[in-house]
Structure 1
Amino acid sequence: MSKQTTGMKSLLFLSTILVSQLPALAQSTVHGNDSIKDRQSVDLNEVKVFGKSAARKLEEGVFAVNALEIAPDINRMVTINDLVNRTAGVKVRREGGVGSDFDLTINGMSGNSIRYFIDGVPLESKGSGVSLENIPLNIVERVELYKGVVPSHLGADALGGAVNIITKKKRQNFLDASYGIGSFHTHTADLTGQWFIPRTAIALRPTVGVNYSKNDYKMKGVEIWDEDEERYILTDRRRFHDDYLSIFGQLEAGVNNVGWADMFFLGVSYNAVDKEIQTGAMQNKVYGKAERHSHSLAFSAIYSKRWGDIASRINISHTLDHSETVDTAYRKYSWDGSWLPSSGNEMTNHARTIRVYNRPLTMINAGIDYELNEHNSFAFNYMFNRRGNDRHDKVDKLFEPTNDVVTKHILSLTYSQSFFDQKWQTSYFVKDYINTLHIRQTNDFTITGSDKIDTNATKNYMGAGIGSRYALCEPFAVKASYEHSVRLPLSRELLGNGTTVYANLALKPEQSNNYNAGIFGSCFFGDANHLTYEANGFIRHVQNFIRATVSEREGMMQYVNEPAIHIKGFDFDVSYFWEDRLKISINGSWNDARDLKKYKTDGNPSATYKNRVPNRPWMFGNMETTYSFHNIISKTDQLNVGVAHQYIHWYFLNWEAFGAISTKARIPTQNITDLSLSYSWQADRFNISLECNNLFDRLAYDNYMLPKPGRSFAAKFRIFLK
């Protein structure tokens, strides 16, 4: 059965569930979302009371953080990555279309320097196939983006920042379902809901998400062999081996606000991803048969309870994670789909391989908060993370099976204080990182460095930081933060993925001194006009910076340490609101990342000393305007029109010290414009949206000059009942 057939059956099954549940859950209408996140108002006999939302309170805290509310975009056919990509200081770079690997940058730090969470729990607990690309949007309340300094309650070794997804916590029965269709044979379907079992306090929360795409967009300017002219020519060809299918299902059951628990939920989730592999890390490596499959089964329990001034919480999860990469064709493909016999497989030019990885993950995250008084509080957090790495090959008998284990313990203690009616807030924290390795793989030691390490080692690292803010008045406040942070290498960086990423067992943890300073404020001009602004400067001094390198000959990646990288820069964000109708926002970011390795390992001067780190955007910005029309046909409908523009300055593909300026490869400047249109009626019960991405069909690139899709269209229908 083809993946497309499987995907269509999954969508049909989801639609059947939706239709069967409509009569039971259709009860009352839903009120619209307020487009101004700073103010949530209640109309009491024409007297309006304004209060700050949770998102705005977070942004006004001691750390540099953006809080992105999902409600204004819940009806659009977009992913979390799409929304995050338009925030200040953040850049998301994809390797292709739907479901492709991506790299997220926050203030110049990218890749695995950024950690991902869902409700404060590492996202990896859901399985390796779950990412910002395929999490159902209708379960998300907001997305928090921490820049540089990360609060200790997240309990992770994040060096450059963190993304924390906050899910919706409703106290009523509801059903939220959507279906979307887009260019390049793209389909999405999401369903989530909540049902309280009658005469009990038990709530059931089911969630289903399906994403499918052929990703058959055109690759422009690729090389193919011309038989008539007997030479390679540049032409346009569609991607022909890039199908993607992901299925996510989750069921949670638990209680809220009972005598023995403020919250207790048990959960089980399943995720499966089937992905055809079209290219290597660069577009000149074309594949036509290689595939990657993964599935995971996760079990979780979460408990929280407050006793007076003491609050406790614990989350325990165990994940069975299985992945398989199939590369058995002795073929060399071209972009027109033709192929020639070869002496090795597609991806590595070695023997046929069906590489299997079983990576069980056990996690414990526990915390205790103690409020000494209204001005002082303490918080303790402990994170345990044990990742196995059981690998073998089904057909390559020369491959060495191993069972590696990486274990992390992260402990943190935070002291917080506030004075002058919360105007001055400060947090101090210390962190202890303990990393234990049990490495068994020894093959390819000249590449992986397995002959140079202690295969059973435990190392300890310390970190500490401070964050403070002072609000002089509502229109003006200042904040600053510092952290000496440590990031332990991930299993993908350290152990590779067995196919496209080589292991580097000699990889060292990154360490960084992160500095942030900024100003922010809100200005109200009567009830109708409202302005928010924020500007931040940052400095990152990174030791043993982990960077991905690519072999152009093999198309293989490996993560290596750069001795010293210094990053400095700033970002800003300004938004204007008029009533609940008009929003205009503009943000920009500039960062300067330099290699400060003065000498090479052989003692000779390094040619890249003080060069800008290549293949990463260093100046970019976004502009967005949305306008809402109310009461068009009825008193409960709304039409939203939006236009967004993204600018990315050109940057070099490789180190600027190598090669002549005139022939040096560079990623060109990019200007991308998107349009969106959404209509809601019966007070947001029914919603439909249309959008066009890359309106002017501009050529756009991301990682290693891999082209992104051109102009595309999408439509989505969503229904919300309660």
Structure 2
Amino acid sequence: MMGVVGKKVIEKWIAMLLFLLCFLPAISQNAQTKIEGTIVDEQNQPLPFVSVLIEDTQKGAAADENGYFFIENITPGNHLLKASSLGYQNETIAIDVAAGRTTKVSIVLRESSVDLQEVTVAGKSKVRQAKETAYAINSVNVKSLHNSNQDLNLVLNKTTGLMVREEGGLGSGFDFAINGLSGKQVKFFIDGIPLISTGTSLTFNNIPVNLIDRAEVYKGVVPVNLGSDALGGAVNIITKQSVKKFFDASYSVGSFNTHRLALNGHYFNEKNGLTFNARAFYNYSDNDYKVEVSVVNPETGTYGEPEKLPHFHDAYESKMVQFEGGFLQKSWADMFLLGIILSGNHNEIQHGVSMDRPYGEVFREDDVLSPFLKYKKDDLGVEGLDVKGYLSYTDGQFLVADTSSRRYNWRGEYVINNDENIGEASWQKSLFRFNDKTVIGNAGIRYQLNPQNHIDFNLTLSSVNRQGSDPLSRYETAFSQPNTLNKSVYGLSWSGKFFRNKLSTTLFVKLYDFNSEMSDVDWDGERTIYTSDYNNAGYGTAITWFFSKTGQLKASLENAYRLPEGYEMFGDGLNLLSNPNLQPEKSLNANLGFLWSYRTGVHFIETEGNLFYRNAKDFIRNQAEGATSTYVNQRDVLSSGVESEVRYTWRQNYFISLNGTYQNIINNTEYEGQRKSGVYRDRIPNIPYLFGNLSIGAWYQDVFSNADKFTWQFNSRFVEEYFLKWPSQGDPENKYTIPQQIAHNAEVTYSFGGGKYNLAFECRNLLDAKLYDHFRLQKPGRSFNLKIRYYIEK
């Protein structure tokens, strides 16, 4: 049997081989014959997505969003190169291509009689269009990562201002923060529909990336069309939208017995508009990675020296099937879809909020059924009147099981509790089953007053009803009587453009309505009914000024409210306790940012930055209490900081990106009752304040065969050390900290057959560092993943 040392040597050799593979394609391309250049307008500004064709060979390319293009493997000699784009006159130039050399050209296109404003908007990618709005937004192109092994959390964690803190491996709990505001303060959507309607099986750390087209991250200020009560921001996942027929299948296998399968298909009949979409995925992992722990002797209760031992009760399984059918491009609807989502989860729980006490038999599972309806129609009866809406009903069955009398240590050894009523995770055994019934409805209307002005109205209604039972409980269960929570969010906005569209402005108001009724049972079994009813109004604005064709300033402001979620008020029946007195939180959010890019020859640089300010009242945060936790209101929290990113691209093939975020999140509550707070102006504990990312990569075409593509990418993430508890309290020499983190990941992908066949190999935590996102909750060590993907479209 191979020893531990032998395995370590093999892992290091694999990691080294991964680096060497990154540079082999570059060597093979040194002597290629190619043409490269830029397409610009008469003001020398780059033109995106222009078609470029060598007329006598029919070889061609499309310029990227920065006007850059290249064509490889050209026959030496004289050729005619033609560039064409809607709204511009065609331009043909003569070129002389020398063998083994790169011919560089610059082509100027002149305007035709077509409205250039419409052409410019149509010619920009969805990612670029989103970035150029007045909101503080990161728009992430996920389409380019469809062959990757990365999950969505890993992709988004590389963007400025975002911090995704995971508790462990695949399927583990995670905390998603935008500029310091996290948890339920950040709302998640998929195609504009709240992710909560799909149950717990669909989360950002298990959604396959090849189901996604792009991700839009709104920071602090959220547009009314999402119909959300987000306090810290929102993430909207846009899935692949296409009228073409396609089928996409992928399977990956990796360390810790991890297996992931994803299927995605679309059918559209152009004659009658009939369409069908089907998506499915399956994820499984043992999550048996090793952690360094001290083992308690089950007989004596004493701890031994630290040793590396595997997770032995942390397996995770999730599956989801989504099917929808309907019509597209009909006179009565641009889109009408009826669908259903079926999903399920089984999650073994290895430990609570700390690793001191491992569990051996505690688990959670759920099954969710969610039918839904989507509708969209532009120019409904009146030109410029666009409507959209959705309605979903979710029936979720959840189980939290803590039924064992055993007390385990990290070797999997156990003793039997003297009291047979005591569980592993709580003071009494539990087989808690509860049912959540959730109804979410949304209606959005946009009316285009004229080409420069439009108004939007949005209404979102949601209702949650939870009821449960626990046959093992010695006392009456809190959810034996229904707990209800109802929310309504109304939004109205006006948007206008001025000074030949150089200035864009949006003004908006939001109205929030909240009511709940929940019961709680105290230690004596006495039941108390709690009711809450709140009405609040918020407002905001977003402004952007284009000082050049590639330069932009933007500012946004919102007085926002966030209503408590059922999960925060009701708890989960195990480690998360209920808090019926939880109050809505509010925040004054502000952003001031810029976006600028510059191209010269084969060099392209883009930079963006943002100053942010968040003044939150009744800030809701998770507070640990031994092995359990509860959500509480922290009266006044002030968050401010700066984030920036610089990205450089050379010849379109090579890129390097560097970003960083500094956030200062402090307790701004001066008095607790009549007493001055001892932690006034202290930095909020257990939240990172300084972090950043470095990404380097390249891609090559026609490496080993015609129409193939090879890419490599290396990513590093840095997180500075931060305190677990209040900085001003305790002995400075003996304070608990989450140590400084530096993590490296690398990946290579290869695509051939015109993109039909795809392979990816990834190494996470390349140097096998000991990583933490939470105090003493170790993340997996070095791991390897291999992904195979098949894609075809007509």
TM over 0.5, shorter chain? yes
Q: 2:621 aligns with which of 547, 566, 576?
A: 547
Q: Residue type matched to 1:220 in 2?
A: E
Counterparts of 2:193 and 2:70, CA distance in 1: 33
Q: CA deviation at 1:48?
A: 6.0
In 1, Cα distance between equivalents of 2:218 and 2:481: 37
Contact 1:32–1:684 at 8 Å: present in 2 too? no
Structure 1 residue 604 displacement after superposition: 2.5
What one-letter code is carried by the residue in structure 2 that aligns with 1:363?
I
Give the whole-Å Cα distance in 2 for the aligned partners of 1:230 and 1:53. 61
Secondary structure at the residue paired with 2:171? coil
Among 283, 297, 317, the residue aligned to 1:245 = 317
State the Cα distance separating 1:345 from its structure 2 match: 3.8
User: 1:633: how far off?
Assistant: 1.6
State the Cα distance separating 1:703 from its structure 2 match: 2.2
Aligned-residue offset at 1:561: 0.5
Matches within 5 A, 1:95-244: 95-196=167-268, 200-225=272-297, 231-244=303-316
Calculate the TM-score normalised by the size of structure 2.
0.83
Matches within 5 A, 1:50-89: 51-89=123-161
Asked if 1 retains the 8 angstrom alpha-carbon contact of 2:484 and 2:518, the reply is yes
- Aligned partners of 2:295 and 2:411 also within 8 Å: no
- Amino acid across the alignment from 2:604: H
Given candidates 708, 713, 733, the residue that maps to 1:662 is 733
Question: Do structure 1's residue 354 and structure 2's residue 431 form an aligned pair?
Answer: yes
Q: Relative to structure 1, is the Cα distance of residues 618 and 403 closer, same or farther in structure 2, using a 3 angstrom cutoff?
A: same
Quote the offset at 1:34 in angstroms: 8.7
Equivalent residue of 1:46, what SS? Answer: strand
Query: How many angstroms does 1:713 deviate by?
Result: 0.5
Which digits, 9 at most, give the CA deviation of each residue in 1:604-646, with x for residues without a partner? 2222111111111110000001111221122201110111111
Provide the secondary structure at the position in 2 that maps to 1:360. strand
- Indicate the RMSD between aligned Cα atoms, in angstroms: 2.3
1:557 alignment partner, SS class:
strand
TM-superposed deviation, 1:406: 0.3
* Alpha-carbon distance change, 347 to 719 in structure 1, aligned in 2, over 3 angstroms: same
Q: Indicate the SS of the match to 2:658.
A: strand
The one-letter amino acid of 1:701's match is Y
- Are 1:436 and 2:515 matched, yes or no? yes
Query: Counterparts of 1:319 and 1:329 in 2: how far apart (Å)?
Result: 31
Q: How many residue pairs are counted as aligned between the two chains? A: 684
Partner of 1:576: 648
Deviation per CA, 1:362-414: give whole Å up to 9, x if none: 01110110111112111000000001111211322523212111000110100
Distance change (3 Å), C-alpha of 1:231 and 1:309: closer
Q: 1:646 aligns with which of 717, 721, 729?
A: 717
The separation in 1 between residues aligned to 2:560 and 2:144, in whole angstroms, is: 34
Name the structure 2 match of 1:518: 593
Percent identity, aligned pairs only, is 32
Alignment map for 1:614-633 (pairs within 5 Å): 614-633=685-704
How much has 1:70 moved relative to structure 2?
0.8
Structure 2 CA distance for partners of 1:200 and 1:48, relative to 1, 3 Å: closer
* Alignment counterpart, residue 710 of structure 1, candidates 777, 781, 786: 781
Mapped partners of 1:306, 1:199: distance in 2: 20
State the Cα distance separating 1:566 from its structure 2 match: 0.3
Structure 2 contact 298–415 (Cα < 8 Å) conserved: no
2:298–2:414 Cα contact (<8 Å) kept: no
Structure 1 residue 530 and structure 2 residue 604: aligned? yes
Give the deviation of 1:97 after TM superposition: 0.5
Residue segments in structure 1 that go unaligned for 5+ positions in a row: 1-30
SS in 2 for 1:259: coil
Length-normalised TM-score, structure 1: 0.91
Give the conservation status (yes or no) of the 8 Å contact 2:165–2:176.
yes
Report the counterpart of residue 485 of structure 1 in structure 2.
560
Structure 2 residue 475 is matched with structure 1 residue 398: yes
Residues in 2 aligned to 1:689 and 1:520: alpha-carbon distance in whole angstroms: 33
Q: Deviations over 1:513-547 (max 9, x none)?
A: 00100111121213x32211100000100000001
Asked if the contact 1:224/1:235 (under 8 Å) is kept, the reply is: no
Most deviating of 239-248 and 419-428? 419-428
> Larger C-alpha radius of gyration, 1 or 2?
2
Tell me which moved more, 50-59 or 190-199: 190-199
Q: Is the 8 A contact 1:331 1:345 kept in 2?
A: no
Name which of structure 1's ranges 78-87 and 216-225 shifts more when overlaid on structure 2.
216-225
Deviation at 1:450, TM superposition (A): 8.1
- Per-residue deviation, 1:347: 4.5
Q: Relative to structure 1, is the Cα distance of residues 162 and 143 closer, same or farther in structure 2, using a 3 angstrom cutoff?
A: same
1: CA distance between counterparts of 2:299 and 2:67?
Answer: 66
Distance, in Å, in 2 between the alignment partners of 1:135 and 1:627 is 25
1:35 and 1:107 map into 2 onto residues whose CA distance is 35
SS in 2 for 1:268: strand
Q: Which residue does 1:412 correspond to in 2?
A: 491
* Distance (Å, rounded) in 1 between the aligned partners of 2:62 and 2:168: 34
* Unmatched runs of 5 consecutive residues or more in structure 2: 1-58, 72-79, 86-119
Shift of 1:197: 5.4
Please say if residues 404 and 424 of structure 2, whose CA atoms lie closer than 8 Å, have aligned partners that are also in contact: no
For 2:66 and 2:578, the matched residues in 1 are separated by: 47
Letter in 2 for 1:67: S
Match of 1:47, as an amino acid? A
The DSSP-based 3-state class of the residue aligned with 1:97 is coil
Q: Which runs of 4+ in 1 moved over 4 A?
A: 31-45, 226-231
Match of 2:396 among 321, 324, 337: 321
SS at match of 1:533: strand
Asked if 1 retains the 8 angstrom alpha-carbon contact of 2:403 and 2:424, the reply is no
1:379 aligns with 2:456: yes
Q: 1:382 to 1:45 in 2, by over 3 A?
A: farther
SS of equivalent to 1:83:
helix
Kindly indicate whether the alpha-carbon contact (under 8 Å) linking 1:280 and 1:347 is maintained by their aligned counterparts in 2.
Answer: no
- State the distance in 2 between where 1:678 and 1:186 align: 19
Cα distance change, pair 349–375 in 1 and its aligned pair in 2 (3 A): closer
SS in 2 for 1:75: coil
Residues 483 and 663 of structure 1, relative CA distance in 2, 3 Å threshold: same
Q: Deviations over 1:220-278 (max 9, x none)?
A: 14333399997532111100000000001010101111111011111111010001000
SS at match of 1:359: strand
Cα separation, 2, equivalents of 1:673 and 1:145: 24
Pick closer, same or farther for the CA change 1:367–1:654 going to 2, 3 Å: same
* Secondary structure at the counterpart of residue 676 of structure 2: coil
Q: CA deviation at 1:33?
A: 12
Amino acid at match of 1:463: G
d(CA) in 2 for partners of 1:217, 1:35: 45
